[in-house]
Homo-oligomer: A and B are copies of this chain.
Amino acid sequence: MNNLADKLRQSGHRLTPQRELILQAVDKLGHATPDEVLTEVREHSQAVNISTVYRTLEVLEQLGLVKHAHLSDRAPTYHSVAGHEHFHLVCRKCERVISVEDHEASAFAKLLREHHGFVADIGHLTVHGECAEHEE
């Protein structure tokens, strides 16, 4: 089955080569800014415009195929949602990014739901701090 084509059509969108390429690039790169996605796409094919990248990432996120997180103070990064959700730890000292299974945040999410009626989007969560090699 073609997940992308199906999801696009079900929501009244169209399947285009650009959209396939951009989703492939996100899959391959792991965590990438829109600009990095553009660079990756141009390795294989050429001729994709940066505004198409922005517009496509927005559509893919609506469809639940990718998510974005804010790993730095700069541009957001996109990653594919390949079944298992995860969140991120980012070291301020070395910029290292650690991906953590969502279940490690489930107790925290439960607490927020019970105390504040708040349903957390764990897949969007980024925790900044310092990794083992760099703590004070």
A14 interfacial contact with B, CB 8 Å: no
- For this complex, into which size category does the number of interface residues on chain A fall? 20 to 34
A69-114 interface with B by 8 A CB criterion: 70, 73, 76, 89, 91-92, 98, 100, 104-105, 107-108, 111-112
Distance of A112 Cα from B116 Cα, bound (Å): 22
Distance of A70 Cα from B72 Cα, bound (Å): 10
Distance of A24 Cα from B59 Cα, bound (Å): 42
Interface of A, secondary structure class, is mixed
Question: A111 to chain B: which residues have CB within 8 Å?
Answer: 104, 107-108
Q: Is the CB of B121 within 8 A of A128?
A: yes
Distance of A115 Cα from B10 Cα, bound (Å): 41
Given A125-B127, A127-B125: A118 in contact with B105 (beta carbons within 8 A)? no
Distance of A116 Cα from B70 Cα, bound (Å): 20
A26-61 interface with B by 8 A CB criterion: none
Question: A121 to chain B: which residues have CB within 8 Å?
Answer: 92, 127-130
- Which chain A residues have a beta carbon within 8 Å of chain B's beta carbons? 70, 73, 76, 89, 91-92, 98, 100, 104-105, 107-108, 111-112, 115-121, 124-125, 127-132, 135-136
Q: List 21 interface pairs A-B (beta carbons < 8 Å), by A numbering.
A: A70-B70, A70-B73, A89-B112, A89-B116, A89-B120, A92-B121, A98-B116, A98-B118, A104-B112, A104-B115, A107-B107, A117-B132, A117-B135, A118-B130, A118-B132, A119-B130, A120-B127, A120-B129, A121-B128, A121-B129, A124-B128
